[in-house]
């Protein structure tokens, strides 16, 4: 990893929220490396720079200025569904997974580093997630047609 890399996206999937999907300031990670043919003929590619598990990040403490934490938000989805292919699926131990994920994301952040947390509360409410970390968010915003996607900003103490 070069010193120019200051942003970590440990659950990048297909990098759909990124304007520049090859941004050299960011390291894109995911537990998956796979391709799917969607029903409309498009190919969905999950191609991380580094295979990683957000519950156990392979980096030293205080490595990144910014972490974007956008873990899978689905507890249930069809085995071959496009939702599962696009977003991934939480394990049955999702509360412990997310708790560990928050802890790891804050561990690899520099002091006063910023964590952007993205969550869609289609199946699990944001309040349940925020209870899984002792860190307190600074501010957030709901987006989407039904305002189910939450963008929440934290600053490491």
For 11-59, write each residue's pLDDT tens digit. 999 999 999 999 999 999 999 998 988 778 888 899 999 999 999 999 9
Q: Is 151:126 a contact under the CB 8 Å cutoff?
A: no
- Count structural domains, the chain: 1
Domain extent for 16: 7-155
pTM of the model: 0.91
Within-domain flag for 54: yes
Q: What CATH number is given to the structural domain containing 48?
A: 3.40.50.150
pLDDT (tens digit per residue) in 85-128? 778 889 999 999 999 999 999 999 999 999 999 999 989 999 99
pLDDT (tens digit per residue) in 118-153? 999 989 999 999 999 999 999 999 887 778 999 999
Is the predicted pLDDT of residue 81 greater than 80, yes or no? no
Report the largest interatomic distance among the alpha carbons of the chain, rounded to a whole angstrom.
46
| Residue 62 to residues 11, 54, 68, Cα–Cα distance (Å) | 19, 15, 15
- pLDDT recorded at residue 25: 96
Within-domain flag for 14: yes
Within-domain flag for 34: yes
Q: What radius of gyration do the chain's Cα atoms show?
A: 15
**pLDDT bucket at 3, cuts 50 / 70 / 90:** low
């Amino acid at each position: 990893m070069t010193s120019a890399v200051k942003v970590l996206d440990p659950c990048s999937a297909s990098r759909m929220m990124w304007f520049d999907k090859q941004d050299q300031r960011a390291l894109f990670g995911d537990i998956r490396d796979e391709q799917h043919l969607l029903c409309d003929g498009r190919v969905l590619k999950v191609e991380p720079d580094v295979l990683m598990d957000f519950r156990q990040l392979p980096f030293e403490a205080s490595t990144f200025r910014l972490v974007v934490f956008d873990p899978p938000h689905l507890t249930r989805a069809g085995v071959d569904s496009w939702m599962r292919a696009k977003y991934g699926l939480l394990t049955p131990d999702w509360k412990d997974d997310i708790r560990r994920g928050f802890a790891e994301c804050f561990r690899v952040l520099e002091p006063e580093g910023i964590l952007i947390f993205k969550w869609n509360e289609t199946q699990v409410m944001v309040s349940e997630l925020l209870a899984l970390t002792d860190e307190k968010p600074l501010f957030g915003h709901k987006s989407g047609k039904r305002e189910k996607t939450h963008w929440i900003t934290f600053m490491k103490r």
